[in-house]
Structure 1
Amino acid sequence: MKFLLTVAGFDPTGGAGILRDLAIFRRFGFLGAAAITANTVQNTGGVRRVEFVEGGFLIEHLKAVLEEIKPFGVKIGIPHSSAEINSEMAKLLGDFKPIVFDPVVSPTFGKEFLSNLEVIRPLLSVADVITPNFSEYRVLKPYLEDFKGGVIVKGVVEGERVKDLLMMGGEILKEIVHVRDDKEVRGTGCAFSSALLSLMCLGEVLEKAFVGASSFLETYRKESFKTGIMKQWYSFV
């Protein structure tokens, strides 16, 4: 069995974060390993509290995992709040390609994860693809001027349609249009980036992996169900 590695936050409900990533990896036939960058207190009502893992512990955690497991690819979610720790992470992870970075800077509901976006630069330097949603992309755009990889912007709303865009060097290479629905499905960013990484590690080129991950996300949304305080939707996938 081949392993993929997720380095991301922990959502105790399993709707997002590393628990969701591991479920998606398994769906595509991979085993998963994980390192937690941040613990959260949250449920469907939103994120109430965030505590970043002590940096030295996180680096030890990664080193211990990588001693035995050589992942075929890496997904990065919530980065650490320390630029120094992110730099050490980048050095440890840089050889395990491809690397998909889903730069979660704030959840849809609740507290922001990062206030200083400068800390993500070391991770951008090793990422092959980043997958921000549209609101995150607008915030992160000044940090992407020198980024050489693929940029996938999710959830660009245009009336009754929603677009996902694949860009390279500022140019749109491909766009996929979805019919807009009224569901607030949890963990879609995690699911998309984990599916994208899985497809790339199965040998798909970026454009085909983009199409496949977008198609997977449609299934993910269709198979979701309502629950929780805010009646958000979870997926069975």
Structure 2
Amino acid sequence: MQAYKLAEQALVGKRNADTVALAMYFVPQPVSRKDGFRRTVNIKANPMGFATGSNLNFDLGLPKLMAKAKPVFCEAFRLEGHYESKSGYPTTVSVQSDSDGDFKVVSMQRLFPNVSQDSLQQLHGELAQQYASAIKAGIAKLEMKTPRVELRFMHPIMIQGAGAGSDEASKLFQAHWQQGWMEFKGKNIGLLGAMKTVADHNKNSVPACKPQVLTLN
């Protein structure tokens, strides 16, 4: 019910198939963990297997629905999408609300599980070399947590005090600001501060988001 009300508000009071479709993205998703990695269960296929995850869920249908229905969200939201790469590696993409009302990619994470310690060490070395500039810039993290290697990329909005180092690394860090949240560049307020600012701005500027005036009677 809360998810439907949220979708209805985002679509300015409309009640139609788009409202139902949008609400499904804001229903807390059942999740299971395997090798320390979040995997989302399809709640439409198994609605009785309900459990609340820490993040909401999205798929490729969300951008199509956004383009069609053009919802306006009052709050700032974070959603996760899970898939396996062509090589079979579990991957998570996280998107976050931007000030223009659209969702932008804020982080990507891929796990490389393997049973061989030697293979893991070799893979870790290859990835460290391949993404050396991104790691120096602070927008990538590479960790070996036996029995897997974890590679994560982050938007600069998630990082405070990063981007120092070589010119190449600094340019890469600055270039990633073009992917969203441009008005927060250089303010170093972090993701939570930016999201609060976005939500406060929407509540004050978007008519559908302003609190309703209740009569005393």
More strand by share: 1
User: Who wins on radius of gyration, i.e. which is larger?
Assistant: 2
Same fold (TM > 0.5)? no
